[in-house]
Amino acid sequence: MPATWAALLVAAALVAVGGVAIRLRVFLRYPWRPEQAPARGSAAAGVRYAFTAGMAPWAKESTRIHLPAYLRGIVLHTGIGAGFLALLFAPWQAVVPAVVRWTLVGSVLLGALAGWLGLAARLTERHLRAVSTPDDLFSVALVSAFLTAAAAAWWDARWGPAFYLLGAATLVAVPLTKIRHCIYFGFSRYYFGLFYGRRGVIGGVQHE
Amino acid sequence: MSEVVNTALEVLERSLDRRLVAALEVCARCGICADSCHVYASEPKPEHVPASRAERVRAAYRRRHDPIGRRFPWLVGAADLTEGDLDALVDTAFATCTLCRRCTINCPFGVDTALIMRAARAMLTATGRAPEMLVMLADAAIARGEQADEFREVYREMVAGLEQEAQMRAGDPTLRIPLDRAGAELLYVGLSGAHTIIPAAIIFHAAGADWTLSMFEASNYGLFLGDPAKAKAIARRIVDEAVRLGVKEVVLTECGHAYTALRWEAPNWFGGPLPFQVRSIVEVLADYVRDGRLVLDPSANPEAVTYHDSCNLARNGGLIEAPRVVLRAAAANFVEMTPHGKEAFCCGGGGGLVAVPEWFEIRMRAGRKKAEQIRAAGAPVVATSCENCNLQLTDLSGYYGLGVKVTGLMELVVNALLAAKRRQALPAAEAA
């Protein structure tokens, strides 16, 4: 990887880390108001459920009836993870074992496909279009392009510049665009598990 | 910026805590929540998608708190709040959202849209846009608390009349409805209406409970308004009464939101756990059945009975098994609705909608999904443990021609209890 691209990517990564840190600092400055009522169930069991069985597609009616959309999301997010790994290991692309290389290419390619399909759904499905903001369309398009470029660059190194440029753009976009939902995902699931676990609705433990 | 908008934004700022901010930030607008909302399921319009419902509040939040929203609002769906937005929000937050949280359990992120809608209700209440009826009912409850001594004698006379009715129905002249009795184990809080007091009196008498009746009603319209000050003032009447009488627990009648208010929210308003236990009569009934304190004859309720889970009791309160324990003991043929428990659909009458006459048509349309469920269950009797659900389901039965009888759990238990009592008395009478 040429030094200029490496410098750009490091700068973009610093913007991402800094942006995420600022977001987290701002978020944690808000008060935490835990429920004061005695628990009926177990908060710990609820949180465990929220991050494990509660994530399974069969755990929710919405994901049972919209399984393709749910799987599309899972594939996209797995692809994004693979895309960042592909970016991280790009300097050692030539020495990466073939099995790892093609696993990465497969994951990012599937992720890209899921992303483009998701974008098409946002543009064509009336209700999805109505709830989408320009940021939603931009963010999905950006990560889909990033993943497409990742697959292309790991297939053929001549696509490297496009991959690095889109990688840098995606990194910068993490704290600034809708992609930032990844920062709050853990908190949101944690509060979900805490709320319903304490109330004995999920997690299977009741005290009363 | 107008004074009204300023007030609304101040309320929003005060509401912001980590749970609310996470709910505002994390939504990816994937739209997977749509079908989980009973309003959307009945009327599939874009504005009924829960993600869309919360967008008005999110737009105002982003405009003030998001760095991109401050500079390029059009890009991230940020917008300055206007009085027009607030007017539109009345429909979104009060008329077409019952705060049932079915979208929350169906969201892959667990976005708490009800929390956002409650913040919206608080903004609307603070700017004088809350439904007049809800405000009036909340204020009337507070006034009753302030003038409790003036009501006491009138109420005592009324309770004496109810006691006679309960004695006649139970066929037991020793039955009492104690009022204001210090040192009782439990304080029972009913609703305005004999139907929540007479069955409870018969049940407590049969179970040998050490109880006393509250001067006040369980309902708390401050909760619906998203107004913690009013909600606390309404709850305080019961809290003070329970402390004054020295009871060990407060038992709430069959009322979903009253349970949410006193069991789960009041400790937040008062800054810590209450000095007594709070339970729903549904839990008490289940314990009486499990402990054998009530002898029931299910043949007294021979028709098939299905059960509608109140969102406040089940999905948001964890009371899912208790009503089923009671129903399996009190009814000969209990059949489940699909889906039920934490996945049950809201009836469409929650969140205070039932109290607002001009929203009748809205809540009837929103209840279509529930009406379909009831029809599919095929039971002629629908039991529920919430007064608002009861009213809504009764209206739905008429509106959709379901022809079902809607009843509370206590009523079924009293039928089964008195039938068992008659059966026990029969051999004794024959022997005599």
Complex confidence, ipTM: 0.94
Query: For the segment A118-148, what is each residue's pLDDT rounded down to a tens digit?
Result: 999 999 998 899 999 999 999 999 999 999 9
With an 8 Å Cβ cutoff, are B67 and A176 in contact?
yes
Q: Which residues of A touch B263 (CB under 8 A)?
A: 37
Model pLDDT, residue B148: 84
Q: Which residue bears the tokens 């790994």?
A: A85
How confident is the model over B377-392, as a mean pLDDT?
A: 97
A1 pLDDT tier (thresholds 50, 70, 90): confident
How confident is the model over B168-177, as a mean pLDDT?
A: 96
Query: For the segment B182-233, what is each residue's pLDDT rounded down to a tens digit?
Result: 999 999 999 988 999 999 999 999 999 999 999 999 999 999 999 999 999 9
**Cis peptide bond N-terminal to B339, omega within 30:** yes
Q: Which of B237, B200, B381 is nearest to B305 (CA)?
A: B381
**Number of A:B CB contacts under 8 A?**
169
Token pair listed for B339: 């889906």
Beta bridge pairs of residue B189: B252
With an 8 Å Cβ cutoff, are B318 and A55 in contact?
no
Q: What percent of chain A is predicted at pLDDT more than 70? A: 98
Model pLDDT, residue B208: 96
- Residue B384 confidence (pLDDT) above 70: yes
Query: For the segment A81-92, what is each residue's pLDDT rounded down to a tens digit?
Result: 999 999 999 888
Which of B34, B77, B111 comes nearest A133 by C-beta?
Answer: B77
DSSP state of B346: P
How many other CB atoms are there within 10 angstroms of residue A168's CB atom? 21
Calculate the average pLDDT of chain B.
95
Q: Which residues of A touch B54 (CB under 8 A)?
A: none
Torsion angle, alpha carbons of B201, B203, B206, B209, to 10:
-70
Number of residues assigned to chain A: 208
Q: How far is A3 from chain B (nearest CA, A)?
A: 31
Model pLDDT, residue A208: 44
Q: Which of B72, B343, B384, B372 is nearest to B259 (CA)?
A: B384
A109 pLDDT tier (thresholds 50, 70, 90): very high
Token pair listed for B304: 């098939």
Which of B27, B270, B315 comes nearest A201 by C-beta?
Answer: B315
Q: Which residues of B touch A119 (CB under 8 A)?
A: none
Q: How far is B51 from chain A (nearest CA, A)?
A: 7
Q: Annotate B369-395 with b (16+ C-beta within 10 A) or e (fewer).
A: bbbebbeebebebbbbbbbbbbbbbbb
Q: How far is A135 from chain B (nearest CA, A)?
A: 5
With an 8 Å Cβ cutoff, are A131 and B29 in contact?
yes
Query: For the segment B319-352, what is each residue's pLDDT rounded down to a tens digit?
Result: 999 999 999 999 999 999 999 999 999 999 999 9
With an 8 Å Cβ cutoff, are A36 and B46 in contact?
no
Which of B52, B110, B267 comes nearest A188 by C-beta?
Answer: B110
Sign of CA dihedral B165, B166, B169, B174: negative
From CA B111, how far away is CA A184, in angstroms rounded? 10
From CA B100, how far away is CA B212, in angstroms rounded? 32
Query: For the segment A186-205, what is each residue's pLDDT rounded down to a tens digit?
Result: 999 999 999 999 999 998 76
Model pLDDT, residue B431: 67
With an 8 Å Cβ cutoff, are B109 and A69 in contact?
no
- Residue A108 confidence (pLDDT) above 70: yes
How confident is the model over B290-303, as a mean pLDDT?
A: 96
Query: For the segment B20-71, what is each residue's pLDDT rounded down to a tens digit?
Result: 999 999 999 999 999 999 999 999 999 999 999 999 999 999 999 999 999 9
How confident is the model over B147-164, as a mean pLDDT?
A: 91
Which of B28, B67, B343 comes nearest A178 by C-beta?
Answer: B28
More confident residue, B106 or B427: B106
- Residue B121 confidence (pLDDT) above 50: yes
Which of A30, A126, A176 comes nearest B68 by C-beta?
Answer: A176
Q: Which residue bears the tokens 């069969």?
A: A58
With an 8 Å Cβ cutoff, are A176 and B105 in contact?
no
With an 8 Å Cβ cutoff, are B18 and A187 in contact?
yes
With an 8 Å Cβ cutoff, are A136 and B111 in contact?
no
